[in-house]
Structure 1
Amino acid sequence: MRLLLTTDTHLPKRARQLPAPLLAELPRADVVFHAGDWVDTATLDLFEEHSRRLIGVYGNNDGPELRARLPEVAYADLGGLRFGAVHETGPAQGREARCAARFPDLDVLVFGHSHIPWDTTAPGGLRLLNPGSPTDRRRQPYCTYMTATVADGRLTDVELHRLPPR
């Protein structure tokens, strides 16, 4: 099962459109995660239209229309793993322990907010993944997103993709 992970698209504030490489990945993925800060409903509509299965949450920059359509936290069982998605996880310091305590039943947590890619494993085994942002790199050298594979109850092939400069 192929996964696409993204967050913090911030359209149309940070970019006028999504990068072509990210758009091309949508129909290729069996499951697409978006960890919030869509900013406009048109982006959610586009993801719903082009994704086989979408797991999304709202972020701190998402208004009432998006909050009416998306949960704050989403959960899914995929290929023998328990996934969760949330926008904010707090400061980097202490993140692993904090998330492991908040989400004790998960194997993988997809999150956003910082626009900074993150891939760590908490004590106890919770994998924490932040794909960065495809439209707003902030203090990072590149805009990014992630792909991964779920097979036989394992998460493999986690890859951070750098997008070309705009």
Structure 2
Amino acid sequence: MRLLLTSDTHLPVRAKLLPDQLLAELPRADVVFHAGDWVDEATLDLFSRHSRRLVGVYGNNDGPGLRARLPEVARADLGGLRFGVVHETGPAQGREARCAARFPELDVLVFGHSHIPWDTTAATGLRLLNPGSPTDRRRQPHCTYLTATVADGTLTEVNLHRLPPR
């Protein structure tokens, strides 16, 4: 099962369009995760139209329309793994322990907000993944997103994709 993970698209505030490379990945993925800060309902509609399955949440920059359509926390059981999605997890220091305590039932937590790619594992085994942002690199050298594979109850081939400068 092929996964696409993204967050913090911030359209049309930080960028006018999504990168072509990310758009091309949408129909290739079996499941698309979006960890919030869509900003524009049209972006949610685009993801919904071009994704086989979309698991998304709202972020702190998402208004009432998006909050009415998306949960704060989403969960999905995929290929023997229990996934969760949330926008914000708080400061980097102590993140693993804090998230493991908040989500003891999960195997993988996808989050956003910081625009900083993140891939760590808590002492409990919870894998934490932040795909960064495909449109707003902030203090990072590149805009980014993640892909991964689920096979036989294992998350494999977690790859950070760097997007070309716009």
TM-score for both structures, normalised by structure 2: 1.00
Partner of 2:150: 150
Structure 2 Cα separation of the partners of residues 84 and 21 of structure 1: 25
Partner of 2:109: 109
Structure 1 Cα separation of the partners of residues 12 and 115 of structure 2: 16
Q: Displacement, 1:40? A: 0.5
Percent identity of paired positions between Structure 1 and Structure 2 = 87
Residue segments in structure 2 that go unaligned for 5+ positions in a row: none
The Cα offsets for residues 107-152 of structure 1, whole Å up to 9 and x where unpaired, read as 0000000000000000010000000000000000000000000000
1:92-131 maps to which residues of 2 (within 5 A)?
A: 92-131=92-131
1:133 aligns with 2:133: yes
Structure 1 Cα separation of the partners of residues 103 and 43 of structure 2: 28
The Cα offsets for residues 13-41 of structure 1, whole Å up to 9 and x where unpaired, read as 00000000000000000000000000000
Structure 2 Cα separation of the partners of residues 140 and 40 of structure 1: 23
Structure 2 Cα separation of the partners of residues 11 and 124 of structure 1: 36
Partner of 2:29: 29
Partner of 2:38: 38
Moved >3 Å (runs of 4+): none
Structure 2 Cα separation of the partners of residues 45 and 17 of structure 1: 14
Partner of 1:13: 13
Output the aligned Cα RMSD. 0.2
Secondary structure, aligned partner of 2:67: helix
Residue segments in structure 1 that go unaligned for 5+ positions in a row: none
